[in-house]
Every structure is written in C-alpha cells, then in structure tokens.
Amino acid sequence: MNALSDKTVGRLSLYRRLLNGLVADGVTHVYSHQLAVLAGGTAAQVRRDMMAVGYTGSPKRGYDIRELAQSIGAFMDAPEGQGVALIGVGNLGRAILAYFAGRRPHLAIQAAFDADPYKANRVIHGCHCYPMTEMDTIAAKANIRTAIIAVPATEAQAVAAKLVRAGVRGILNFAPIRLHLPAEVYVEDIDMTMSLEKVAYFSRKGRAEKEVNS
Amino acid sequence: MNALSDKTVGRLSLYRRLLNGLVADGVTHVYSHQLAVLAGGTAAQVRRDMMAVGYTGSPKRGYDIRELAQSIGAFMDAPEGQGVALIGVGNLGRAILAYFAGRRPHLAIQAAFDADPYKANRVIHGCHCYPMTEMDTIAAKANIRTAIIAVPATEAQAVAAKLVRAGVRGILNFAPIRLHLPAEVYVEDIDMTMSLEKVAYFSRKGRAEKEVNS
C-alpha cells in the first residue's frame, strides 16, 4: 500500500463515517459523485482515494457500501486495536472522555493521567485515571503510541516531551500552544476557544472580511 | 479599524490567552519575539497583528501585557457580550457545554436546543435546554448570531439552514459533514474523530508519510 498524505487520511476517516451513516439508513450502494457531495469534494478525488485503499466499485451499481467501509477500516485501523492515552482530566479532558467513550472500538482511550492526585485512581466515563507519575510505566506496558493532550497551555510542552520519551508518536493537542517536538512525531491541534472566537467575530463583523488578508 | 483575515483573528485569540497566562504567572511585559515563540510565529508577524488592533509597545520594555490583552478584547469582543446557541445536547453537546461553562463571560452559550423533548427543559452545566421548535423565537429574542452545531451528520444541514433563517451568521460545526450555506455565513469545522483517527494512523505508520502526496 502506498504512503498517504494527512489530507487523504482525513478524507478516508470522513468517508467511513458517511458510509456508516448510509448503512444505518438502509442504503447498500453509492456512486462516487454522491459520496463527493456528502464529503464536499469531487467524484474524481473520491475515486482516487478509494483506489489508494485498493477498492474499485462497479460502474453500474457504484460502491458496495459495506465492503468499502471495511476496506477503509482494514487500511486505517490497527488490526489488534490501538490504545490512546489522555493527559489532563480537567473540564476539557472529561469532555473528551465523554465524547470518545464507546465510540471507536478500535481506537479507545485506555488510560487517563493527571498531575492532581485527587483526580487519579478514579474511573471517569469508563476510563481509569492514574497519577502522572505512572504515565511512563503504563504507556510502555500497554504499548501506547497515541496521546491526547488536554492540560493547560503552560504545562503542554513538558507533558508532550514526556509522552515522546515514553514512546508516543502521535499527539492530538487541545492546549492552545505550538508544541516543539522531534520531526517524527505527528501533531494535530484543536483549539476550540479560538474556533468559537473566530466564528463569533465574523458573525458580528460579516463573512466578507474572511477573504481580506491583513 | 481594518478588516482582518480569519487567520489574524485566530492569532489574536491565541495571543490573548497566552497573555492571560503570563499575567497569571505575574509577568507584566513581553517582547514581540517572546510572544512569537509561544504562539509559534515570527516577531514581525506579532508586531503586524498588534498594529492591526492599534497597539504599539515600547521598544525598551516590550508590550504592557494587561493593556495589550485589553486592546485585543476591545477589538474582538462585543462590548455588550454575545450570546451563542448550541444545537444538539447529546454526548458531544454536553461535552461542549462543560468545556465552555463559565469560561468566557463575553461569549457564553445562552441556550441549547435539542429535537428530543426529553432533553429539553433541563439545565445542563448551567445552560437551559429548549425544544428545537422554540429555536427561532428564542434566537430572535436574544439576538443570537452565533451557533454551535453538535447534532449527527444526517441532521446538520437542516439544522444549519434553520439557524441561518433565524438570523445566525457564524457557525462552529462539529458534525462531520460539509455544510452548504449562503456565502455571508461564516463556518468553522471541528471534526474530533477525524483528527484522532489521523493522529492514530500516523503514530502507527510514521510521521514521514505526512509529507507524501498521494
């Protein structure tokens, strides 16, 4: 299989969820141009992405939705499942636990960590919380390579460095700070406050300003 | 004041939170190059952004942090405060309510709505939840122009169209679907599942593949 860009992997994630939605609605087949409308892309791009996972539909009936979702899963998911660690069990961390609880069997938050000992040794939304001091041991034992950072901005860099030393190679970072890490570590940032403040600003000032570069 | 790009507005939101973090640490002044390191940009960009909000620091002492944070606030915030509506009070919606509860006095989720009548007429994380049928009336009365969508993908387009008819001009969309809306409506997408799936994929397959375009 070919190496893929992060945009392609993002689209595959989206396609799979759209396909699962169609299955839930009782649909069995879909054409590339229909999937393209749902995903906000072009039919040619959908077909290229599907070729990348090694699936080709029938020109007459379109893609078999169940087969296609399985092909994407075989491509994206670790066959043995993949554990994720969450660092920071404050307001945001608990919200993240609630959101992902039971959502992805192949990609579950296996352990949460917090520097505050009062937050440790509890089970929150089905996830066991440990003190930060146990992070290295538990991450190594469970072979955890993926982590979510939900600590305050001032602690995020130190936490990220500690995660990388413990073997983590991919980080979803909710802290509003740019992490400085070795090039082989993949980082994706989500800043919910920034996103809401942008939306609020442009909903007052008007969308046209989006196009103006200052 | 000049019209700003959405990237500039995003950086101003980030600067303000970094500045508030420095105030909490007892720092009173900061140089543009120091702020640039924290924000992951260049000193020249920081200075351009600050000029856009009409603030100039002293070359000797740098920016006065409190004054600068206030200047950004005067630029970004509605003086009378700004109400936000949340649509969808499922797992994700409740997580969003928990995250934003009490966080931004000038930008509070004033009302939540859900199609499920059992979720309405409750107070969740300090926010009153109403049935979807009352959305138009309440949004108009409270002059709500900003909304967060946290409904399933299959319902998001209909909800977004209803919001726009009720006067909403900015949407933070957590549903994994591309919304088709009039050009004057500003939309920002956050897809937490896609982000986590990308991070998980590259933490297994290696960061180098990020650079390869398929």
A10-28: pLDDT as tens digits: 999 999 988 988 888 899 9
Query: Average pLDDT of A173-178?
Result: 88
Query: Average pLDDT of A156-179?
Result: 93
B6-74: CATH topology is Arc Repressor Mutant, subunit A (1.10.10)
Query: Average pLDDT of A186-200?
Result: 93
The pairing of beta strand A63-64 with beta strand A29-30: antiparallel
* B44–A contact, CB cutoff 8 A: no
Residues of chain B positioned with their CB less than 8 A from the CB of A36: none
Query: Average pLDDT of B118-134?
Result: 90
Instruction: Using the predicted structure, report yes or no on whether residue A99 has a pLDDT greater than 90.
Output: no
Compute φ and ψ for A127, nearest 5 degrees: -110, 130
CB–CB of A173/B203 below 8 Å? no
Nearest to B16 by CA among A58, A83, A153, A5: A153
CA atoms within 13 A on the CB side of A178: 12
Q: How many residues belong to chain A? A: 214
- Based on its alpha-carbon atoms, the radius of gyration of chain B, rounded to whole angstroms, reads 20
- What is the distance of C-alpha B94 from the center of its chain? 16
Return d(Cα A166, Cα B150) in angstroms, integer: 34
Give the angle subtended at the CA of B92 by the CAs of A187 and B7, to the nearest 5°.
Answer: 45
Among A58-67, A95-104, B5-14, B111-120, whose mean pLDDT is lowest? A95-104
**What kind and span of H or E run contains A141?**
helix A135-141
Question: How does residue A177 score in pLDDT terms, banded at 50, 70 and 90?
Answer: confident
Return d(Cα A36, Cα A15) in angstroms, integer: 9
ipTM attached to this prediction: 0.89
The residue assigned the tokens 């998980």 is B200
Ordered by start, the domain boundaries in chain B are 6-74, 82-194
Query: Average pLDDT of B112-120?
Result: 89
Comparing B40 with B196, the larger pLDDT belongs to: B196
Q: What is the pLDDT of residues A48-77, one digit of tens each?
A: 999 888 888 777 888 999 999 999 998 888
Q: In this prediction, what percent of chain A has a pLDDT beyond 70?
A: 94
Return d(Cα A64, Cα B53) in angstroms, integer: 54
CB–CB of B97/A196 below 8 Å? no
- Per-residue confidence (pLDDT) for residue B125, from 0 to 100: 87
Nearest to A82 among B152, B204, B207 (CB): B204
The pairing of beta strand B127-131 with beta strand B82-87: unpaired
| Selection from A110-119, B164-173, B203-212 with the highest mean pLDDT | B164-173
Chain B residue with minimum CA distance to A169: B203
- Per-residue confidence (pLDDT) for residue B129, from 0 to 100: 95
The per-residue pLDDT of chain B, averaged, comes to 88
- Structural domain A82-194, CATH architecture: 3-Layer(aba) Sandwich (3.40)
Query: Average pLDDT of A33-47?
Result: 91
Q: What is the pLDDT of residues B73-112, one digit of tens each?
A: 988 888 888 899 999 998 889 888 888 887 677 788 999 9
Residues of chain A positioned with their CB less than 8 A from the CB of B40: 177-178
Nearest to B214 among A4, A91, A198 (CB): A4
CB contact under 8 A, B194 and A38: no
Instruction: Using the predicted structure, report yes or no on whether residue B154 has a pLDDT greater than 90.
Output: no
Q: In this prediction, what percent of chain B has a pLDDT beyond 70?
A: 94
Compute φ and ψ for A189, nearest 5 degrees: -105, 135
Nearest to A9 among B13, B172, B198 (CB): B198
Comparing A174 with B3, the larger pLDDT belongs to: A174
For residue B156, give every residue at least 6 positions away whose Cβ sits within 8 Å of its Cβ, in sequence order, or none: B149, B173, B175, B177, B179
Q: What is the pLDDT of residues A110-142, one digit of tens each?
A: 999 999 988 888 998 889 999 999 999 999 888
Exposed/middle/buried for residue B213 (C-beta within 10 Å: 0-12, 13-18, 19+): exposed
* β partners of residue A173: A149, A189
Nearest to A192 among B99, B146, B154 (CB): B99
Query: How many DSSP H helices and E strands does chain B contain?
Result: 8, 9
CB contact under 8 A, A21 and B154: yes
CB contact under 8 A, A197 and B76: yes
CATH number of A6-75: 1.10.10.10
* A94–B contact, CB cutoff 8 A: yes
Q: How many residues belong to chain B? A: 214
For residue B79, give every residue at least 6 positions away whose Cβ sits within 8 Å of its Cβ, in sequence order, or none: none
- Per-residue confidence (pLDDT) for residue A170, from 0 to 100: 96
Determine the residue type at A168: V
